[in-house]
Structure formats: structure tokens, C-alpha cells
Amino acid sequence: GEEVAQTPKHLVRGEGQKAKLYCAPIKGHSYVFWYQQVLKNEFKFLISFQNENVFDETGMPKERFSAKCLPNSPCSLEIQATKLEDSAVYFCASSQSWQGANYGYTFGSGTRLTVV
Amino acid sequence: AQKVTQAQTEISVVEKEDVTLDCVYETRDTTYYLFWYKQPPSGELVFLIRRNSFDEQNEISGRYSWNFQKSTSSFNFTITASQVVDSAVYFCAHTGSARQLTFGSGTQLTVLP
């Protein structure tokens, strides 16, 4: 399809619970990126993949966050033992190249995670 | 390190007015890419434009135009004859050797009828 599909749209977790977010990139896009949007306007890069390989994970808080992109499956972002500060909208984006060639990065509609 | 500054936090205009959103970036890269995204109240991020550092040609797409000036490290966005549907948060972003998007803090544009 021509859209990046993120599920679920909303997720509520109690502090300490696990959260798992999914992202199906556009077919033919080799790169997948995860960003966290907090306080409405602040974006933080988390991790990127080139196909199933980690491309850049410099933004990942590794103690509790993990991510995978396996062949023939949606990519996933998992947060173990969620904290209140993890409350944010998590966006996934896909692209044909890491530079966002041709039509830029296509973003999904996001998953709003609320930790209570 | 890259940095993108959108100094205008909020702008309010009346329909049909022209409005310019400013974007200033800092980078040590010689090859880099600049973007504008629109985030309407529904929350999704809509791609508007991508420009590489070697192409300083201004671009026009309908009511939208972009002015890229390397000399001042600016990539400004102008909406001509604004409409209520243009109301959104607009983000400028940069990518380069860091291989990840650095976003500005966004400009909330409100177009009043």
C-alpha cells in the first residue's frame, strides 16, 4: 500500500507494564525510522532500519526500549516497564533511502501511548 | 551537531493573507537535505517538500513556495492567499551525515476566516 500503517492508534499502559507498537512500511521502502513526539512539538529520533538490519540506534534508550524489523512482518517497537515519561506519540516513517529521496519520508499516523 | 530553529512559535493571519514561516538551520555537513512537514490537528505528518543542499532554486507548488538561501542558512516557506485549511503546525527538518531527521520546534499557524 501507499501508506505507513501504525497500530494501535492509542495505547494505555500502567507504569511498569510492557507496550508494543507496530509499523508496516510502504512496500518497496527499505528504510524505517521511529520518532517520539513529546510535548506536542518536540521530536526525538529513536532508531532506524535498513530492511531488517539496524541502521542507526543512537537515539534508543536501550535499557527499556527494543525494536525489530523482520522479513514479512510489521516492524515493532517495544517498551519494557513503561514509565510516565514514555507518554508520547510514536511515529514510524519509511523511505526509499535514508536521505528521504523522491517523496521524502512517509509518516504513519502515529501511536499515542499514555502511561498512567 | 545539526540544529533547526523555527523562531515563530505561533502565527495568526486572516484568510487570504500571505504568510511566511521562517526556518534557520545549523550544520557542518556539505551535503544535506531540508524538509517541510505539515501536522494538521488530526496529528498526521504530511510531507510538503524536500530540498538538497546543492539545489538553491526556489520552488513553487500552487499557493506554496519555498526560499532556500545557503548564505543565510535559511529555508523559508510562504503560503500565498492563506485558507482556513492551512491551519496546522508546520515543521522544518534537516538530515545529513547523522542520518536522522532533526526537527525544528514547529510553528503553529492559525488562519482565521
Instruction: Kindly list the residues from chain A whose CB atom is less than 8 angstroms away from the CB atom of residue B47.
Output: 103-107
Map residue A5 onto helix, strand or coil. Answer: strand
Which chain A residue's Cα is nearest to B50?
A: A104
Strands B74-79 and B64-69, by their bridges, are antiparallel
* CB-count exposure of residue A39 (10 Å: 0-12, 13-18, 19+): exposed
- Report pLDDT for A2: 86
Nearest to B106 among A35, A41, A110 (CB): A41
Interface test mutation site (partner B, options A26, A40, A43, max chain B beta carbons within 10 A) = A43
Instruction: Kindly list the residues from chain A whose CB atom is less than 8 angstroms away from the CB atom of residue B102.
Output: 45
Average pLDDT, chain A: 94
Q: Which amino acid is at B47?
A: F
Long-range CB contacts for residues B20-23, cutoff 8 Å, separation at least 24: B20/B76, B20/B77, B20/B78, B20/B79, B21/B76, B21/B77, B21/B78, B21/B79, B21/B90, B21/B92, B21/B107, B21/B109, B22/B74, B22/B76, B22/B107, B23/B74, B23/B75, B23/B76, B23/B77, B23/B92, B23/B104
- Report pLDDT for B56: 87
By the 8 A CB rule, do A32 and A25 touch? yes
Count other C-beta atoms under 10 Å from residue A70's C-beta: 11
What is the nearest CA distance from A50 to chain B, expressed in angstroms?
12
- C-alpha distance from residue B70 to each of B56, B92, B100 (Å): 7, 15, 20
Q: Is the pLDDT score of A112 beyond 90?
A: yes
Instruction: Kindly list the residues from chain B whose CB atom is less than 8 angstroms away from the CB atom of residue A103.
Output: 47, 50
Instruction: Please enumerate in sequence order all residues whose Cβ is within 8 A of that of A67, keeping only pairs 6 or more positions apart, or say none.
Output: A34, A46, A47, A49, A54, A57, A60, A75, A76, A77, A78
Interface test mutation site (partner A, options B44, B66, B91, B92, max chain A beta carbons within 10 A) = B44
Number of A/B CB contacts below 8 angstroms equals 59
Bridge partners, A5 (sequence order): A24
* Residue A101 pLDDT grade (very low, low, confident, very high; cuts 50, 70, 90): confident
- Report pLDDT for A36: 97
A74/B contact by beta carbon, under 8 A: no
Q: B89 and A42: CB-CB below 8 Å?
A: no
pLDDT in tens, B16-74: 999 999 999 999 999 999 999 999 999 999 999 999 999 888 899 999 999 999 999 99
pLDDT in tens, A46-96: 999 999 999 999 999 989 999 999 998 999 999 999 999 999 999 999 999
Q: Is the pLDDT score of A102 beyond 80?
A: no
